[in-house]
């Protein structure tokens, strides 16, 4: 207890943050690009800002290093990973192997309530494409798109593949995808979301797989084209 202005007040210690909390907080900061590519992350500074000891921070950075979010450089420290063209290709290659399969499985298992929610999200994304692109519309699209695909992968009922896919899609590269779209790309993507819903409504696994594959290939082309524009060969 402490005395303030002649009144006795009860004080409470801040709740201890678990290692998982520390890991998720740092990961969210990385996903939101709060740290620049190549920036070093100092254990002591992170621990101080999060109000924890260095031990959970050290463990979080190890986990993030294993997942590819940061690079652990012996004798130098930990720095934010700079995504390369090869990283983009590998992520999209992995998505093409996993995501269409899960969409096909979902077509056979997904419930009516989930399909209704997917329809609502598809309508939201279509509405976003009709607005001028701003940071706010990008965030709105990213949130709706994330929920849309999460519902489908969850409905497939394969938790291991779902976790693998989720880990890949949490990278900053995925948010960068929508930033890479021009008006035509955005409109095409919105139409593809609508068609995915139609395939699921019809319980048509092959259709769901095919349109999901087209959807990912279109996103891959937009990202690779942008990367090559911004990093032209000498």
Handedness of CA 62, 162, 20, 82 (dihedral sign): positive
Lowest-pLDDT choice from 152-156, 194-198, 228-232: 228-232
Handedness of CA 137, 64, 152, 88 (dihedral sign): positive
Contacts of 103 (CB under 8 A, 6+ apart): 152, 156, 196, 199, 200, 208, 209, 211, 212
Q: Would you place residue 20 in the very low, low, confident or very high pLDDT band (cuts 50, 70, 90)?
A: confident
Span 51-73, average pLDDT: 89
Helix (H) or strand (E) holding 31: helix 19-31
d(CA 26, CA 34): 10
Q: Is-contact 30 173, C-beta < 8 A?
A: no
Span 158-186, average pLDDT: 79
Q: Would you place residue 32 in the very low, low, confident or very high pLDDT band (cuts 50, 70, 90)?
A: confident
Supply the pLDDT for residue 229: 82
Q: Is 118's pLDDT higher than 50?
A: yes
Lowest-pLDDT choice from 46-55, 113-122, 199-208: 46-55
Domain 85-230, CATH among 1.10.3720.10, 1.10.287.130, 1.10.357.10, 1.20.120.530: 1.20.120.530
Domain residue extents for the chain: 19-80, 85-230
The reply to whether 19-80 and 85-230 are identical in fold is: no
Q: Is 148's pLDDT higher than 90?
A: yes
Q: Is 4's pLDDT higher than 50?
A: no
Q: Is 14's pLDDT higher than 50?
A: no
Span 147-156, average pLDDT: 96
pTM attached to this predicted model: 0.72
State pLDDT tens for residues 200-233: 999 999 999 999 999 999 989 888 888 788 777 7
Span 159-163, average pLDDT: 94
Contacts of 221 (CB under 8 A, 6+ apart): none
Q: In the predicted model, what is the mean pLDDT of the chain? A: 86
The CATH-assigned architecture of domain 19-80 is Orthogonal Bundle (1.10)
d(CA 84, CA 157): 32
Supply the pLDDT for residue 172: 65
Which DSSP symbol is given to 110? -
**Which residues are paired to 3 by β-bridges?**
8
d(CA 185, CA 180): 9
Span 55-67, average pLDDT: 90
């Amino acid at each position: 207890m402490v005395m303030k202005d002649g009144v006795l007040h009860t004080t409470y210690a801040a709740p201890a943050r678990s290692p998982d909390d520390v890991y998720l907080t740092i990961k969210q900061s990385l996903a939101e690009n709060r740290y620049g590519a190549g920036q070093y992350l100092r254990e002591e500074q992170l621990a101080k800002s999060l109000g924890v000891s260095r031990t959970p921070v050290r463990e979080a950075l190890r986990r993030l290093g294993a997942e590819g979010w940061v690079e652990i450089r012996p004798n130098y420290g930990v720095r934010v990973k700079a995504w390369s063209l090869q990283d983009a290709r590998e992520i999209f290659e992995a998505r093409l192997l996993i995501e269409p399969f899960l969409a096909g499985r979902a077509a056979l298992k997904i419930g009516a309530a989930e399909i209704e929610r997917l329809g609502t999200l598809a309508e939201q994304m279509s509405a976003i494409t009709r607005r001028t692109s701003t940071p706010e519309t990008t965030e709105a699209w990213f949130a709706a798109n994330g929920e849309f695909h999460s519902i489908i992968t969850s409905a497939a009922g394969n938790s291991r593949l779902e976790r693998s896919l989720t880990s890949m899609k949490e990278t900053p590269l995925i948010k960068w995808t929508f930033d890479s779209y021009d008006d035509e790309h955005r409109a095409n993507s919105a139409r593809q979301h609508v068609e995915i819903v139609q395939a699921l409504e019809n319980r048509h696994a092959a259709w769901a797989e095919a349109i999901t594959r087209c959807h990912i290939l279109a996103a891959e082309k937009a990202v690779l084209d942008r990367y090559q524009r911004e990093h032209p060969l000498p």
